[in-house]
Structure 1
Amino acid sequence: MIYYLNPTIMFRKILIAVNDDEYARKPAETGFQLARTLNAAVGIVFVIDQRLTVNPMDNDISPLSPLEIMESLHREADRTLDELMGRYAGDQPAERFTPEGRPTAEILNTAESWGADLIILGTHGRSGLMQLLTGSITTYIKHHSKIPVLIVPSEH
């Protein structure tokens, strides 16, 4: 893979935003490779989406409380980050972030507070009506980030 970068921009801190689906692998791989090439620090963020704790079913029927759902989401985030770091980081250290909130806001907040110079995100490859109906974290970040964003397409 060849990267064409503006030589006047220094990427010292790269933030890789991931989630628990198969589309997280390619951005993680790309981010760690680019960080090694540029000798940059790596941060990897998995946002715990608090909206997933809202259960549309009555609490008398639901088998899990919002607290149990949140704990499950944290375990999933840790598993995902462990798996991606084990697969792509090698001996390269990375700072891990698992903020709670809306993914769009928390990715941008993490990038700003950590001092990232670049955000790397994946895309599901949706377009048109499907993207309009489901929304797109990547599209939002691309339009609202104050720093460069590298979008890595899925392999599917």
Structure 2
Amino acid sequence: LRRLELPSHRREQMQQAEITAAQDILEEGGRYFPDAELIRKEGRPEREIVNTAIEWAADLVVICPRSAQSAGPPLGPKSVGHVARFVLDHAPCPVLLVRPIAREVFPIPR
């Protein structure tokens, strides 16, 4: 695989879109967690999350897991992607997985 080099203006647009999305999430979450902060780090997400939890002596990590297949499955062993799996296995504190409501799979067939 070759690393794709984006034109600098496109890279800046993407970075600004990331920041805007993060600020929107922080604004929404701030209603429930008023002390929440926005930080931006570069690197492997799973390692950055765990290292930040260690640096902050976090009491809890909240993460929305993606499945190995982007669209799902919503339940089962493949319902958690590699980032969430790594955080679950390496975080120095409890990890809360937050998922969207999966109405189409409930009730679970017997």
Structure ranking higher in strand proportion: 1
Alignment length (residue pairs):
92
- Secondary structure in structure 2 of the residue aligned to 1:153: coil
- Secondary structure in structure 2 of the residue aligned to 1:146: coil
Q: Which residue of 1 aligns with 2:88?
A: 142
The answer to whether residue 23 in structure 2 is matched with residue 88 in structure 1 is no
The correspondence for 2:56, drawn from 108, 114, 128, is 114
The unaligned stretches of length 5 or more in structure 1 are 1-53
C-alpha spacing 1:102/1:68, structure 2 compared with 1 (3 Å): farther
Which structure's relative contact order is higher, taking Cα pairs within 8 Å and 6+ residues apart?
1
C-alpha spacing 1:72/1:113, structure 2 compared with 1 (3 Å): farther
Q: Aligned partners of 2:48, 2:42: CA distance in 1, in Å?
A: 7
Q: Which residue of 1 aligns with 2:20?
A: 79
TM-score (norm 1): 0.48
C-alpha spacing 1:102/1:72, structure 2 compared with 1 (3 Å): farther
Q: Aligned partners of 2:10, 2:83: CA distance in 1, in Å?
A: 22
The unaligned stretches of length 5 or more in structure 2 are 67-73, 103-110
Please tell me the root mean square deviation across aligned C-alpha atoms, in Å.
Answer: 2.8
Among all aligned residue pairs of Structure 1 and Structure 2, give the percentage whose two residues are the same amino acid. Answer: 25
TM-score (norm 2): 0.65
